[in-house]
Amino acid sequence: MHRFVRFVCALLLTAPLLCHAQAADWQAALERDAKRLDRLHTLIVAHRGEEILALDLQNRGLDTPANIKSLSKTVLAALVGIGIKQGVFEGTDQPVVDALGDRVPTSATDGVERITLGHLLSLQAGLQRTSGANYGPWVTSNNWVSHVLTRPFVDEPGGRMLYSSGSSHLLSAALTESAGRSTLALAREWLGEPLGITIPRWDRDPQGIYFGGNNMQMSPRDLVKLGELYRKGGQLGDQPLFPEGWVEASWTGRGESAYTDDPYGYGWFLRPLAGEMGYYGRGYGGQVLYVVPSLALTVVMTSDPTPPSPGSSYLRQQFRLIEEHVVPALR
């Protein structure tokens, strides 16, 4: 009996050491494989809100704001959700022309009144895209909002997903017009102050509207805070920042990406890794925010944002880091 007790005690004493060794093993393997991605700048893994791995591979700084490119669309979607909670917007079914007011040009394409805030959030406006080959003519135009609203329809509102930063920019313009304040001011008040996030100024259009859906700057650690807000259902302590059901609606697939086939909700793509359902926002060049609620997991990666972008092959390599190392370790 005494021999058995000594065995159990020894096992209990060594268990933390074994767990620590196992943790060190997967973290070392993850760091090794992460270093093989030359474009990767930072990688943070948070479990239950606590950092369990933080890599600054190119000395860019984990607390230093970085250009998150189109991951800005995920941030903007959060602002729209808060705007609904604050009463700035009526809801996702509100026509965007109502929210834009006098910013709608008289030459707007017939039918734009059918486009809702929800269609813009899910990139299903139906208008010709202003990304890709159409990006240059759009951002060099003298009025970005008018340019978007005078594009021809190539699908019905609510139809296929058409990835277009112009759709997101209409949301920024709608926020500015409906709230009577800049998107920067709203972002700092609605997200920056409650979450302790630093949001520097970023690009604006010729009318002074902050770029809706591109070129925002946030630090990797601040992106973790945004991911954690969604992981916790929009709750900050006992206070909800979003209207009821916002996170569920944001993580409900509507259209699908033409590049990855991943469903897209309100600013978030849906993609399971290693059998665990996850949700992610992404930006050009490899800016990634990935959340797995079932594992209480949030992962952030920032990368070299300069052209040319490595495209979906690099994104798959980033996801492989999560799939092969992080998910198995936490599961």
- Has residue 88 got a pLDDT over 60? yes
pLDDT band at 19 (very low <50, low <70, confident <90, very high): low
Nearest to 119 by CA among 138, 86, 93: 93
Quick check: 11 pLDDT over 80? no
**pLDDT average, residue stretch 44-62:** 98
Residue 188: what pLDDT? 98
- pLDDT, mean of residues 126-132: 97
pLDDT at 320: 98
What CATH code would you report for 28-330? 3.40.710.10
Domain boundaries, the chain: 28-330
Q: What is the mean pLDDT of residues 200-221?
A: 98
pLDDT at 83 over 80: yes
Paired tokens of 269: 């793509």
Tokens at 148, concatenated: 């978007």
Mean pLDDT to the nearest integer, 124-131: 98
Mean of the pLDDT values across residues 9-38?
Answer: 72
Q: Give me the pLDDT at residue 13, please.
A: 44
Q: Please give the pLDDT value at position 142.
A: 98
pLDDT band for position 309 (cuts 50, 70, 90): confident
* Residues 261-288, mean pLDDT to the nearest whole number: 98
* Confidence band of 20 (pLDDT split at 50, 70, 90): low
Residue 327 has pLDDT above 70, yes or no: yes
Nearest Cα to Cα of residue 297 among 321, 331, 263, 264: 331
What's the farthest any 2 CA atoms get from each other in the chain? 90
Q: Is 162 helix (H, G, I), strand (E, B) or coil?
A: coil
- The per-residue pLDDT for 311 is 85
Grade residue 24 by pLDDT with cuts at 50, 70 and 90. Answer: confident
Give me the pLDDT at residue 274, please: 97
Cβ neighbours around 201 below 10 Å, total = 10
Over residues 212-222, mean pLDDT: 97
Measured between alpha carbons, how far is 245 from 223 in angstroms, rounded to an integer?
21
Mean per-residue pLDDT of the chain: 94
- From the number of C-beta atoms within 10 Å of its C-beta (0-12, 13-18, 19+), residue 46 rates as buried
Digit-coded pLDDT (tens) for 142-171: 999 999 999 999 999 999 999 999 999 999
- Rounded to whole angstroms, how far apart are CA atoms 281 and 300? 10
The set of long-range contacts for 146-153, using a CB threshold of 8 Å and a minimum separation of 24, is: 146/105, 146/107, 146/108, 149/104, 149/105, 149/108, 149/109, 149/112, 150/105, 150/107, 150/108, 150/109, 151/109, 151/127, 152/109, 152/127, 152/128, 153/109, 153/111, 153/126, 153/127, 153/128
User: How much of the chain exceeds pLDDT 90, in percent?
Assistant: 91
Q: How confident is the model at residue 30 (pLDDT cuts 50, 70, 90)?
A: very high
Task: Pull the structure tokens for residue 318.
Answer: 């980033």
| Confidence bin at 21 (pLDDT 50/70/90) | low
Instruction: State the pLDDT confidence band at 271, using cuts at 50, 70 and 90.
Output: very high
Q: How far is CA 306 from CA 33, 117, 215, in A?
A: 22, 31, 12
